[in-house]
Amino acid sequence: MSYTFTVLLDRVPTDDEIEAGMRTPTGVSGIDHDPPAATMSVDDVSSWAEAFAEGVAEVQELGVRVIGFAHDADDNYVTEEDLAVRFGLSQRYVLELATDVVGPGGFPPRVEDDDGSPLEYWHWAPTREWFRKHFGDDVADRFDREIDTADRAIKSR
Amino acid sequence: MAERSRHPKKDVERALSRAEANQLKVEQNTNRGHKWGDVGCQDTDHAKKSVWSTPRNPGNHAKDLDKYTDGHKDHGR
């Protein structure tokens, strides 16, 4: 499964730096400008620590420096896979919770497109709070604790 | 603006088509490098979102593009 997270950068890489340094295929899912940040997707690892190390290494090959790790915004989009990895569950179980096959029900609705049709995402905050209510703080805060730990580590360098 | 070709990754192509349906500008680079092109807001003061040619996780790249679309689709309307 993919570990997806956002790192803060000292600056946005230039197009020339991207062409010179980007891997094929790239684990950079997106780059934002304000503030400079990169969202990374890392596969073939078995822990957040491994994912963070790999993601930082890859994005710094673009010539930029990672200066921190960012918490997701409340309205950030998350997939079943994101929720599974963040809460330590299987993707199938998350889908079953989301569709009321198992669990207490009341799972937050998916993000809707303009025509009312559901996209394949949820907003981060409502899903995190649903897990907090039904699985407890320890589960709900797993991802945020990992982010805090990684952020402290990189800022202490 | 020259007509663009389809992105080779279907998840990304879906997101690009959705961006265009929401009046965002999708521009393909003429050179064939890591950067396939950009998605841009109608308000040109806003930074564009880069589109990669070979994302390792096309679904996550599409998610990033969808978030950009939803954050910018009402600009300039």
Please state the domain extents for chain A.
Answer: 3-70, 77-142
pTM: 0.94
In chain A, what residues touch B65 (CB-CB under 8 Å)? 30
Residue A117 at interface with chain B, using a CB cutoff of 8 Å: no
| Residue B58, in any domain of the structure | yes
In chain A, what residues touch B55 (CB-CB under 8 Å)? 25-26, 28-29, 41
Shortest distance between the Cα of B6 and any Cα of chain A, in A, equals 18
Among the partner residues B18, B50, B56, nearest to A25 by beta-carbon distance: B56
pLDDT digits (tens, 9 = 90+) for B35-56: 999 999 988 888 999 999 999 9
Sign of CA dihedral A112, A7, A72, A82: positive
Paired tokens of A69: 């790790």
Strands A3-9 and A28-33: unpaired
Domain, as residue range, for B38:
10-70
| Residue B77, in any domain of the structure | no
- Pairwise CA distance, residues B22 & B20, whole Å: 5
- Pairwise CA distance, residues A41 & A7, whole Å: 11
- Pairwise CA distance, residues B7 & A11, whole Å: 28
Shortest distance between the Cα of B25 and any Cα of chain A, in A, equals 17
> Scanning every residue of chain A, which has its alpha carbon at the shortest distance from the alpha carbon of B14?
A119
Asked casually if ipTM beats, i.e. exceeds, 0.90, the reply is: yes
Q: How confident is the model at residue B76 (pLDDT cuts 50, 70, 90)?
A: low
Number of structural domains found in chain B: 1
Please, where are the H alpha helices in A31-155? 48-60, 80-87, 91-98, 124-135, 137-140, 142-155
> Scanning every residue of chain A, which has its alpha carbon at the shortest distance from the alpha carbon of B9?
A25
| Residue B36, in any domain of the structure | yes
pLDDT at A104: 97
> Scanning every residue of chain B, which has its alpha carbon at the shortest distance from the alpha carbon of A119?
B66
- Pairwise CA distance, residues A83 & A147, whole Å: 15
H or E element that contains A120: none
CB A7 within 8 A of CB A68: yes
- How many CA within 13 A on the CB side of residue A138? 1
Task: Look at B66 and A121 and tell me if their CB atoms are within 8 Å.
Answer: yes
Q: What is the pLDDT along chain A (157 residues), one digit of tens a residue?
A: 999 999 999 999 999 999 999 999 999 999 999 999 999 999 999 999 999 999 999 999 999 999 999 999 999 999 999 999 999 999 999 999 999 999 999 999 999 998 999 999 999 999 999 999 999 999 999 999 999 999 999 999 8
The answer as to CATH 3.30.70 being correct for domain A77-142 is: no
